[in-house]
Amino acid sequence: MLRAAAHFLAAGAVAALAATAAATPPVAAQAYYVQSGVDGTILAQRAAAEPRAIASITKLMTVIVALQHLKLDDVVTVPRLATRVGEASVPLRTGETITVRELVEAALIPSANDAATTLAYAAGGGSVPRFVGWMNAEAARLGLHETHFVTPHGLDRPGHVSSARDVVELLRVALANPTIKRLASTEHAKIDGHDLGTTDDLLSSFPALVAGKTGHTDDAGWAEVAEARRGDVSVFAAVLGDPTREQRNDDLQALLTWALGRYRRGLAVDSARVYAVAKTAYGRPAIRLVAQRSVLREQLSGRPFVEEVIAPDEVALPVVRGQRLGEVLVFERGRIVASSPLVAADSIRKPDAFGRVRWYATRTLHRLVSLVS
C-alpha cells in the first residue's frame, strides 16, 4: 500500500534566510515594480498601478505591433512627419528608403523617435492614428489596464500613460521575440550610415542585465524597465519618475541586485538521504528508499518548500538495487519545483522454497509458544 507524507523542507534554513533577507533598498523613483521571472511573485512595489508618462518605453509596444504587420527585410519610405518629430533621432531624411530591420534597431538601441514614427506610418498603411489604435488594442489584449497610447514614440502627450506594473509585463512580452531581445541588449548599431549607441547605461556596467528599455521626458522623468539574470533566476523591474539619469541607473540596479539576492540555490532533493523505509517479507531486512538523483533549485528567502513522499509500506521480494519504488515531489506554493523517483538503496533476494518453508515454520512455532505461555 502506498503512503504519502508531506512536510516542510529545510525549515530551519528557510527561517535563517528569512531572518537575514534585506529590506527593499531605498530608491528615489516615484514608482517601481519588481517581479520574479521564476514564478511571477511580486517582490516589491511602489505606486505600481499609478498611470504615468513612460516616454520611450513606449517603443517596446511600437516594435511589437510593427512586426505584426511588417517583415524585417521590408523596405519602407521615410515620411515627412517622421523627420519633424524631433528630439532623439537617427536622423532620417524625408523620402529616403530604409529597411524595417534598421528602423527597429534605431527605435530600440538609440531610441530614435523618427524611426518609431516611420515604423508606425509604414505598418499603418500611411496612418499613424490607425497604428496607435492597434497599439491600444494590443495593450488591452495583454491586460495592460493602466496603459493608453497616443503616439508611437512616447513624447509627452495628454493621456499617453502606462504604469510600472504594466511596463514590466510589456517587457516580458517583448523579450519573447528573439529580435527584440537581441536588440534590447545591444550597445551599438550602425544605422543609415550613423554610428549610434544605446541609451541604456547599465548594459555596459551591470553584468547581470539581460535587456531593457529606457525613457526620458519632462513628464516621465528618467525611467527604465529591464530584466536581470543570475543562474536559473531572472527578475524584472521598472523604475518611473527618477530625477536624474544617474539616479535611474542606481535605483534600477539596486532593485535588480536586491531581487536576485532574495534567491538561494540549494538541494530540493538529496540523493544521499533516506526518504522512506519499506518492510519486506520472510524476515528479510527493510528496504531503504533513496532519491534517484539530487535536484538543485533556487529558493526565495522566507518561502519554504513543501515535500511530499509517496512510498509503499511494504514491498514484495526480490528487490533489486535501483528499482523504482516511489517518488518524492517538492512544491512551492502549490507548484511542483522538483521531483525524483525513489529507488531501492540495496538488493534483497527472495528466499528459496526451503528458506520460505523454514520461515513459515519458525513463525508458526513462535505463535504456538506465545499461545501456550
**pLDDT tens, position by position, 305-352:** 899 999 999 998 889 999 999 999 999 888 888 899 999 998 988 776
What residue spans of 150-225 are helical by DSSP H?
A: 164-175, 178-183, 202-205
**Considering only CA atoms, which of 22, 21, 63, 44 is closest in space to residue 239?**
44
Angle between helices 59-69 and 113-123 (to 10 degrees): 30
pLDDT for residue 89 = 81
User: What are the pLDDT digits (tens) for 60-92?
Assistant: 999 999 999 999 999 999 999 999 997 878 889
DSSP 66: H
**Considering only CA atoms, which of 154, 171, 170, 163 is closest in space to residue 113?**
154
The conformational region for residue 318 under phi > 0 = left, psi -120 to 50 = alpha, else beta, is beta
pLDDT for residue 264 = 86
* CA atoms of 355 and 66, how far apart (whole Å): 79
Output the CA–CA distances (angstroms, integers) from residue 29 to 50, 58, 100, 169, 300, in the order listed.
Answer: 13, 18, 34, 19, 25
pLDDT for residue 356 = 55
Pair 123, 212: CB distance under 8 Å: no
* CA atoms of 316 and 327, how far apart (whole Å): 17
What residue spans of the chain are helical by DSSP H?
A: 11-20, 59-69, 80-83, 100-108, 113-123, 128-141, 164-175, 178-183, 202-205, 245-261, 353-372
User: What are the pLDDT digits (tens) for 180-203?
Assistant: 999 999 999 888 788 899 999 999
Matching CATH number, 23-261, of 3.40.50.720, 3.40.710.10, 2.40.50.100, 3.40.50.300: 3.40.710.10
The conformational region for residue 26 under phi > 0 = left, psi -120 to 50 = alpha, else beta, is beta
Pair 65, 142: CB distance under 8 Å: no
- Residue 361 reports pLDDT greater than 90: no
* CA atoms of 72 and 107, how far apart (whole Å): 13
Unique residue bearing C-alpha cell 527584440: 180
pLDDT for residue 20 = 39
Q: What is the DSSP string of 260-277?
A: HHTEEEEEEE-TTSEEEE
Model confidence at 357, pLDDT cuts 50, 70, 90, reads low
pLDDT for residue 334 = 82
Identical fold between 2-12+266-369 and 23-261: no
- Residue 162 reports pLDDT greater than 80: yes
Model confidence at 102, pLDDT cuts 50, 70, 90, reads very high
Q: What is the CATH number of domain 2-12+266-369?
A: 2.60.410.10
Model confidence at 373, pLDDT cuts 50, 70, 90, reads low
pTM (two decimals): 0.79
* Percent of the chain whose pLDDT exceeds 70: 88
Residue 345: partners with Cβ closer than 8 Å, 6 or more residues away: 274, 287, 288, 289, 290, 321
Amino acid at 218: D
pLDDT for residue 360 = 56
Per-domain boundaries in the chain: 2-12+266-369, 23-261
Model confidence at 280, pLDDT cuts 50, 70, 90, reads confident
Total Cβ atoms within 10 A of residue 178: 8
